[in-house]
Structure 1
Amino acid sequence: MSIQIGVSACVLGQKVRFDAGHKASEFCTNTLGPFVSYVPVCPEQAIGLGVPRPAIRLQLNAQQQVRLVNSKDSSIDHTDAMLQFTEKLLPKLQQLSGYIVCAKSPSCGMERVRLNDQNGHQLGKVGVGVFTQQLMQTYPWLPVEEDGRLLDSNLRENFVTRIFACHDYQQMLQSGFTIGKLVAFHSRYKFLVMAHSPKAYRELGRLVAQAKLFAPDELAQRYLLDLMQALKQQATRKQQANVLMHLQGFFKKMLSSSAKQELLGLIHKYRQGHLPLLAPLTLLRHHLAQHPHSYLAAQQYLQPFPDELGLRA
């Protein structure tokens, strides 16, 4: 099963914006593109708005409801059409492992979209695009990120980690959910979760230990939601270094004193911010190749996504 990612069509370079332009993302098209299959959507074009078209905005009405209206004539309201389109489309997106939306868009923005009051006065960047809000409510576990935020290296790595983890979990479900499969999956993801949230690491462990208390479907969905929420938290250098120390502990009886010191030195330099994560990880992988360990080799932490993406460098 290929990794399918929903995306605002303009982010792929399609000229579908209100001004007949696009917002092509080099990362999405050239870096991530070879590893995923995109499902492009332009909600505004889909509801019949032409290209080019009058600009639209988010505006509160007299009942304090957020509406999607024409920027120059708020009596032209596209909210119901957008909600009807979204209601029809969303059930067809269950297979997605992530979604990349266009920042600041009144239909697609994930956060900080400009919101006006009923008189047209700006209330600040406090809105969410109508389409994306429905998307996130329907699939609260789905990794969603904005094209602009993907310019940040940490946010980019975090998002890609989540989409590959989500896809991995979806693949596990393809042949049917069992507690045994969940235990095996959780075993592979322990250290990756620990790096992002030690608290979630403990909570997910308890959830798996109590698996028999839940109906299978409920357990499968709850684990996915909790996993995605855990991985959404930024992994700090301190937490990453803590995981690296756990991993190096598997080699304490196998490595020479000098080899241990070399590895500990790299971990320490990484913690201080002098080296990228890839430095101690590469040495850990080297020792793993020299001293095979099946449990350690299965850990998703060592390679949560293809090295070719260059996200840990």
Structure 2
Amino acid sequence: MSETVASRAGIPVGISACLMGEQVRYNGGHKRSRYCLEVLAERFALEPFCPELEAGLGVPREPIRLVGRPGEEPRVVGTVDASLDVTDRLDQVSQAFIDKHRHLRGFILMKGSPSCGLERVKVYGENGMPSHSDAGAFVRALKRHFPTLPLEEEARMNDAVLRENFITRVYALDDWKRQVEANPSYHELLQFHSRQKYLLMAHHVEAYRELGRYLAESSRLPLEEAMAHYLQRFMTALARPATRKTHTNALMHVFGYLKEALDAETRQDLLAAIEEYRQGHVHLAVPIRLLSHYLKRHGSEYIRRQTYLDPHPYELGLRNAI
């Protein structure tokens, strides 16, 4: 593992409190996540939060749901007593949380929750029937104030691609906050882009090209404006899960830094591993480890520093499943 990744311990990540095993759900129960508590807690400093409990709804409590018309921001009301409207209270506690948690690198959410659901939360019409879906009230506040913050539902992390994508984004944002945000300068911005180039390429090749052109002209802009634009576009691009096709493209670009230094047989072995990955016969970890092995011997400092080769701790085994 690279020194950069090895130093990334205790990254602050928010999490719905019920996923930590806290008995804060409306019925007094919880939704303890073994993966979060037994795996991610080794790497992340998980910070639990329950907006409903913080809003004073108590445990146990009457369930709440989203109610509204398509195209309008839904209200949050009781399922039994429709006069119980907690929208404003949830807004207040969400804003208070945001004001105190700008250090977070991500947030893990509870699926389907009217406060913490990331998407596809049912919104009910006046007739009491679901009419469409939206994000939970707390999540909408997070998106408004933290548009670059990686968000994911715990249940969706059962999908290996979505799990790897979320954790990749958390580590990328951590890199940004520690290196660029902590020492803002055009130099740090360019250095960040330089080491993230092939990770960006693997997720969104158009954004890779666009941001390269943008940075070529960025010195003419106010630094704060350039940083804000870059981070928004970068994190949006990373939120697009990489595919076998886009990973293969990035792998071939990395391979290009080695082909002159290797003998024909070794080059064929590397190309065969990349092709086996493209065809779905092996996981991404196979060509990555082979490339990393030879880059340590023959690669330039530039290519060895690429976060694409090591975007998160190897021990998590995320690339052994995609």
Q: How many angstroms does 1:64 deviate by? A: 5.3
Which 4+ residue blocks in structure 1 deviate beyond 6 angstroms?
none
Instruction: Supply the distance in 1 between the matched residues of 2:189 and 2:223 (Cα, whole angstroms).
Output: 10
Q: Which residue of 2 aligns with 1:205?
A: 212
> CA 1:253–1:114 in structure 2 vs 1: closer, same or farther (change >3 Å)?
same
Q: Which residue of 1 aligns with 2:76?
A: 68
Q: Does 1:172 align with 2:172?
A: no
Q: Which residue of 2 aligns with 1:123?
A: 131
Amino acid at match of 1:229: T
Instruction: Supply the distance in 2 between the matched residues of 1:260 and 1:114 (Cα, whole angstroms).
Output: 53
> CA 1:180–1:107 in structure 2 vs 1: closer, same or farther (change >3 Å)?
same
Q: Which residue of 2 aligns with 1:147?
A: 154
Q: How many angstroms does 1:176 deviate by? A: 2.4
Q: Does 1:57 align with 2:88?
A: no
Amino acid at match of 1:197: H
Q: Does 1:261 align with 2:261?
A: no
Instruction: Supply the distance in 2 between the matched residues of 1:85 and 1:110 (Cα, whole angstroms).
Output: 18
Amino acid at match of 1:8: S
Identical columns (%):
42
TM-score scaled to structure 2, two decimals?
A: 0.94
TM-score scaled to structure 1, two decimals?
A: 0.96
Q: Which residue of 1 aligns with 2:5?
A: none
Q: Which residue of 2 aligns with 1:229?
A: 236
1:174-206 CA-partner distances (Å, limit 9, x unpaired): 542111111111000000000001100001111
SS at match of 1:251: coil
RMSD: 1.6
Q: Which residue of 2 aligns with 1:300?
A: 307
Q: Which residue of 2 aligns with 1:18?
A: 26
Q: Which residue of 2 aligns with 1:41?
A: 49
Q: Does 1:311 align with 2:321?
A: no
SS at match of 1:131: helix
Amino acid at match of 1:117: G
SS at match of 2:66: strand
Instruction: Supply the distance in 2 between the matched residues of 1:127 and 1:174 (Cα, whole angstroms).
Output: 32
Stretch moving more, 266-275 or 236-245: 236-245
Stretch moving more, 177-186 or 87-96: 87-96
Aligned residues: 312
Instruction: Supply the distance in 1 between the matched residues of 2:174 and 2:73 (Cα, whole angstroms).
Output: 36
SS at match of 1:210: helix
Which of 78, 89, 100 is residue 81 of structure 1 equivalent to?
89
SS at match of 1:312: helix
User: Gaps (5+ residues) in structure 2?
Assistant: 1-7
1:85-141 CA-partner distances (Å, limit 9, x unpaired): 1122211111111111111000111100011112312214x1211111011111111
Q: Does 1:8 align with 2:46?
A: no
